[in-house]
Copies of this chain bind each other. A is one copy, B any other.
């Protein structure tokens, strides 16, 4: 906008390699530049750069000196082109606003970095078919060796056929274990522990605030809750369905507070549990004296600090991330997709102060 070139078409031949003023591209030093300065061939520079065999001490020093002088940095595109791999793993996800996703991503990034792999983020703006489709399409053009997909399996089902068939894929929390390599938190066992804990305290049954229907994780937590109650021969109260938000938990809590038989609630995540706490508080139902509440996730620095501190199911997101990277690397290095299957990461109940035996006389 400032000078005379309205188009990019012609700024092409006018940069002598000595002038560092280059306007657009190519201000970067290449091996050839280093080689010229050091008075060797670029192959020798390559050998020095990669610590390869047999370069005489004096030559090596000259090359290193030239590299330092010019500030040489290898061009990863060229290397990727040559080797046919990018040393990069793509991560597709909907949102980073959930603690689980961002912690999983962090673990993925850390472990990938340790293996010399970079992480490329492929955000999906909205949970619509179009956007997901778009992400998968873009995926094909991206410089990634494998992809880790973090999203709801139910939505995935409808579009999974568009996944490029020759891309290595690891899915998180999905029911596609028959087709893909899946890393999964043991939702069922976590839910089981939560419900069992409440029954052990003496509650006759446990109410449930479920996550949204389209979430696979929510569905499994609900299924496990139901199963425990049925195995124990307890009454199964009607499911109240929220949308993961504190608001929905609050709204449902206001209703549950009016159910005198409700002495224990298992919420499908911490956020909704928090809404419950507030609703019960406003309705004069004391937690845990009158009602016990269990959450799911163990949001760090938060779940422990509510009033009262929340009993909840702890998820090991770091471990999930670690196994994702492991799975992706196995596929990349193994060359072919390993047997589809699901890896379960254990969960554990953290008992704090939002649970207690039911009020005496309420039997």
Contacts and interface: CB of A to CB of B under 8 A. Distances in A.
Interface of A: 1, 23-28, 71, 73-78, 80-81, 83-86, 88, 95-97, 102-103, 105-106, 109-110, 113, 118-123, 125, 138, 140-143, 164-166, 245-246, 250, 271, 274-275, 277-278, 281, 299-302, 304-307, 334-336
Given A97-B103, A141-B73, A305 B274 contact: yes
Contact of A109 (B25, B75, B121, B245): B121
B246 A302 contact: yes
A84 B26 contact: yes
Given A118-B121, A143-B80, A166-B27, A102 B96 contact: yes
Contact of A25 (B84, B142, B271): B84
Given A76-B141, A80-B143, 5 more contacts: A97-B300, A102-B102, A102-B105, A118-B121, A118-B122
A84 to B, nearest CB: 4
Nearest to A137: B73
B123 A120 contact: no
A261 B76 CA distance: 61
B71 A75 contact: no
A306 B305 CA distance: 9
The count of identical subunits is: 2
Given A120-B118, A143-B76, A125 B110 contact: yes
A106 B25 CA distance: 29
B143 A123 contact: no
A253 to B, nearest CB: 11
B96 A106 contact: yes
Nearest to A139: B73
Contacts of A113: 122-123, 125, 138
29 contacts: A23-B335, A23-B336, A26-B84, A71-B164, A71-B166, A76-B141, A76-B142, A77-B80, A77-B86, A78-B81, A80-B80, A81-B81, A95-B106, A96-B109, A97-B102, A97-B300, A109-B121, A110-B125, A113-B122, A118-B122, A118-B142, A246-B302, A246-B304, A246-B305, A271-B301, A271-B302, A274-B302, A277-B307, A302-B302
Contact of A305 (B25, B80, B278): B278
- Best-surrounded residue of A88, A304, A307 (most CB of chain B within 10 A): A307
Contacts of A23: 335-336
Nearest to A23: B335
Contacts of A121: 105, 109, 118-121
Contacts of A27: 166
Nearest to A110: B123
A134 to B, nearest CB: 9
Contacts of A278: 305, 307
Contacts of A301: 245-246, 271
Nearest to A134: B113
A301 B299 CA distance: 12
A1 B338 CA distance: 12
Contact of A74 (B1, B81, B105, B141): B141
